[in-house]
Amino acid sequence: MDTMCRIKEKKTIHPFAYRTHTHSLGKVVSGYKVRANDGDIDDWTLLGKRDPLTPQMFYPVMNNDTIETGDMLAARCTMESNRDDWTMIGATNKDEMCNFYLMYWVDKTTTFGDEILLHAGAPLLLVEN
């Protein structure tokens, strides 16, 4: 399960901590900063990767490089299911979700707008980690 959003606002994001969350089927949640380069392949920088069923607390990011306008934030969840029925995305225990929380600070006193952007996810996202 993949998702990503492009940072459109002219801000520099300074990440410092992350947290992961799924329900019972989650095995690994990873968060990335994705930056386009001059070639055909984007640069993916791992921000955090964790078993979402370990204690739910914030952990220091694995790479605290800044995130700039035009960069993308991506999350990838690996799930494992032996269920006989479909699992839907939702808030209950019979559902599943993929959350990668990122704590950060920005320069100045302005906050981000409310715009939400999502990417269709796989099969268009290819990550080697």
pLDDT, one tens digit per residue, over 55-113 is 989 999 999 899 999 999 999 988 888 888 888 888 888 888 888 999 999 887 666 66
SS3 category, 15 = strand
- pTM beyond 0.85, yes or no: no
- What is the spatial distance between Cα 19 and Cα 29, in angstroms, rounded to a whole number? 9
Q: Note the pLDDT of residue 88.
A: 83
Domain ranges (residues) in the chain: 2-106
pLDDT, one tens digit per residue, over 7-37 is 888 889 999 999 999 888 889 999 999 998 8
pLDDT, one tens digit per residue, over 32-59 is 999 988 777 789 999 999 999 999 899 9
Fold exhibited by the domain 2-106: Jelly Rolls (2.60.120)
- Which DSSP category does 110 fall into? -
CA 3 to chain centre: 7
Q: Across 12-121, where does the E strand assignment appear?
A: 13-21, 26-35, 43-50, 59-60, 72-79, 99-106
Q: 21: annotated binding-site residue? A: yes
Q: 14: annotated binding-site residue? A: no
